[in-house]
Amino acid sequence: MFTGAVLGAVAVFVALNATLLLNTLYLQHTRGWTAFQAGAATLPMAVGATLCAPWSGYLVGRVGPRRPLALGGAFIAAGGLSLAALDRDTGVLLLLTAYLLIGTGFGFANAPLTNTAVGALPRSRAGVAGAITSTARQLGSALGIALAGGLVAGAGAAELAHASRPGWLMVTACGLFLLLVARTARPGSGP
């Protein structure tokens, strides 16, 4: 369970940071949006994460980590899949909906990952479990940026949407991986 939670934390942050990088490059270079407009487009991600994080914590306390982690994985996978056919003229509503889905997934995933990691080790090792999970998140951030950046490196504005498609499939795969992690989490009541 501990290893799954740590790898799940990596996957969540790969998905989040790949989304932020690909979104910024696509909106600014392909669509010609300003930095402010591109930043404003990420607001649905923030709203989804902000609203769902406390709800996720509540669910972890009531029913355990499995259900909220599965929700997180499903939302991230759905958001990534929504953008897998991204092109130069993808509708703004689809973009905003996909960002909302990814943000919602992110909000649902964090509490159960931490709960699963900390709960998998003896109480005397809880600080170590939390620190390792936090480090895994940082690793996921770096990997997400590196992998997404590598996928679109050298792509001009006209090719960027097409070049980013494997990145959106990677985000989808991260969500699907969280569904697998959810299966290993404790199914019963909270900690």
Name every residue whose Cβ is closer than 8 Å to that of residue 183 and which is 6 or more positions away in sequence. 66
> Quick one: 16 exposed, middle or buried, by C-beta within 10 A (0-12, 13-18, 19+)?
buried
Output DSSP code: residue 122: -
- Mean model confidence pLDDT for the chain: 93
Closest CA to 103 of 85, 78, 84: 78
Distance CA 34, CA 43 (A): 15
| Predicted pLDDT of residue 188 | 57
| Predicted pLDDT of residue 50 | 96
Specify the pTM. Answer: 0.93
Output DSSP code: residue 125: G
Report the sign of the C-alpha dihedral through residues 57, 45, 167, 91, in that order: positive
CATH 1.20.1250.20 for domain 2-184, yes or no, is yes
The residues of the chain scoring below 50 in pLDDT are: 189-191
- Do 151 and 26 contact (CB within 8 A), yes or no? no
For 81, phi then psi, to 5°, come to -65, -35
The domain limits of the chain are 2-184
| Predicted pLDDT of residue 117 | 86
| Predicted pLDDT of residue 61 | 92
Task: For residue range 92-139, list pLDDT tens digits in order.
Answer: 999 999 999 999 999 999 999 988 888 878 888 888 888 998 999 999
